[in-house]
Chain A
Amino acid sequence: MTKETVIHVKNLTKKFDDFKAVDSISFEVKKGEIFGFLGANGAGKTTSMKMLIGISKPTTGLATVAGFDVYKNTEDIKKNIGYMSQNFALYNDLTIKENITFFGGIYGLSRKEIKEKTALLIEELNLQKVSKKLVGSLPLGWKQKLSFSVALLHNPAIIFLDEPTGGVDPITRRQFWEMIYKTANQGTTIFVTTHYMDEAEYCDRVSIMVKGKIEALDTPKNLKNKFNAETMNEVFIKLARE
């Protein structure tokens, strides 16, 4: 059963003056996949993602996200995707409820929908006691989960996560990935960047970026076989050495 392709990238490049931050990358992501976009810090992951979510114009190459072109139809792309940025960008001086209301409203949810979603979210994340508290006062793990949920408010087809587990303890990380699984099972495509190689094991397929290029693209199992490694960490180290 072939699933449709929701992200299509061909020879995508981003240059800053002479520096090629992203050097002619190509790949495809199918609907419902959990696609891991790995690489060391500075390899070009975030830059690539910014092009796909429509806030950075590529230098050359082609890409479509949810069927829309990244050059011409960025606003349509944005209607169909969710985004969770590296620093869980929520407003620290607004309460949980207020943040949800704001982002829900921006995405065009009706007042009724916002109310329902808010109740649902607070229940799911067990935030009843702190729903009126300012987000700035929440521990990092809660902010992370909240940020993820807010990104899903408008039921996007694809959600982009930029280093979503930075600075969070292992147990919270685990819980977070459970949330990701649940969302993927419901049909949402997950595009996640990370520099934690162990998280690669959780993905359906991963690509590894080194110095702007994609040096590996396959399922974790196949990559470990190919590079004769026990863990993805080993795979990465072997790749980086070449």
Chain B
Amino acid sequence: MKIIGYIVQKEFKQIFRNKEMLPIIFIMPIIQLIILSNAATFEILNIKFSYVDNDKTSFSRSLIDTFDASTYFNVQNEYPSNKIASAAMLKGEVDVILEIPQHFERSLIKEQQTDLAVIINAINGAAAGVENGYINQIIKNFNTNARAKFMNQNASIERPKTIEASPSFWFNKTLNYKTFMIPGILVLLVTMITLFLSGMNIVREKEIGTLEQINVTPIKKHQFIVGKLLPFWILGLALLSIGLVIAKLLFNIPIIGNLGLMYFYTSIYILVVLGIGLFISNFTETQQQAMFISWFFTVIFILMSGLFTPIESMPRWAQYINEFNPIRYFVEVMRMVMLKGSSLADITSHIVKTIIFAIVMNVLAVISYKKVT
């Protein structure tokens, strides 16, 4: 016990004395949190929109006005011809072009229908889909209004049956992406810092030779490992706290659930991460290797964890892998507890699985740590 204390004391001294790393451990994550939360959004805004108006009536003008009124689109200057508009899209000056045909209003009234050409830069396929959705919605609304106007002048038309869809968004009424992303980003930061620091730490002692010195002392394996990892466990929880404070103060993210539950789960989760870091460091000779391997797995697990894109949308093999992805559980727990107020009962399976991972990883790590080669 006391021996563990000596190691922890030394580790903390070294961490806080390292003037280069200290800002990276504490300030960088805060900056990341702030930038990431503001940058990470799948909302499509400020869409570069332009048009070619071959009708030039007040009717076509009013169609353009509805796009102008929308917050999603930035309506730019009109292009004189389709050709010039296409060239502009090639250059990247515009992403959506509306081509209003000649006799737009006339055809609508006389023939009861008319086409409206829309050209969308679809390089970002997902964004194009969303933009298409917005465009269709705007055109539909315009259409409905126009129809009402025309129909009032001509009352003999049948009324169609309509099924209204009335959406209601819970836990995040304003569909604020930050609310979605910030718990995830907290996960990301806590994971990365604890994993990289703990992994590289032991390898560093290997590289400079002090690990050998320690292996010659009668210190027991578990004493050394606990002493080494405990500081980072504390660091991880400290980072979580800082993150939560910023989330609440700066971004006003709802923290509905039980804080104690969040800390409890995070404590177990960090054990998993530390176990992985230790395990990796037992098989690498240089810090570079340790870093690389950690980075490799971290990127994969983070991408697959449902942090950015939903897990249900992934193919079955990916979902199977995700059963063993600790980050996935942390992301879910953070979102469920923080944003919805889920209780202990709701996350029991998450906790159990994470505990199992923690035990397995740390046992593996301890076994593979050799005081004698």
Contact = CB atoms under 8 A, between A and B. Distances in A.
Interface in B203-240: 208-210, 212-220
Contacts of A107: 217-218
Given A91-B14, A93-B18, A94-B13, A55 B372 contact: yes
A74 B2 contact: no
Contact of B218 (A78, A85, A86, A92): A78
B210 A55 contact: no
B373 interface: yes
Interface in A74-111: 74-76, 78-79, 81, 83, 85-87, 89-94, 98, 101-103, 105-108
B371 interface: yes
B263 interface: no
A26 to B, nearest CB: 22
Interface string B1-39: 011011101100110011000000000000000000000
Contacts of B208: 87, 89, 92
Nearest to B10: A102
A53 B216 CA distance: 7
Interface residues of A, number: 29
A30 interface: no
Nearest to A95: B13
B217 to A, nearest CB: 5
Contacts of B2: 105
Given A89-B208, A94-B10, A55 B218 contact: no
Interface string A97-129: 010011101111000000000000000000000
A86 B17 CA distance: 26
Contacts of B18: 93
B13 A78 contact: no
A55 B3 contact: no
Interface in B59-101: none
A91 B373 CA distance: 23
Given A105-B6, A108-B3, A93 B14 contact: yes
A24 interface: no
Interface in A4-62: 53-57
A81 B218 CA distance: 9
A68 to B, nearest CB: 11
B209 A89 contact: yes
B14 A55 contact: no
A146 to B, nearest CB: 13
A54 B372 contact: yes
A136 to B, nearest CB: 11
Contact of B10 (A74, A75, A91, A92): A91
Contacts of A103: 217
22 contacts: A54-B371, A55-B372, A56-B372, A74-B372, A78-B218, A79-B218, A81-B216, A85-B209, A86-B209, A87-B208, A87-B209, A89-B209, A91-B210, A93-B14, A93-B17, A94-B10, A94-B14, A98-B13, A106-B6, A106-B214, A108-B3, A108-B218
Q: Which 10 pairs from chain A and chain B are nearest by CB?
A: A105-B6, A89-B213, A83-B216, A78-B218, A79-B218, A89-B209, A89-B210, A87-B209, A102-B10, A106-B217
Interface of B: 2-3, 5-7, 9-10, 13-14, 17-18, 208-210, 212-220, 371-373
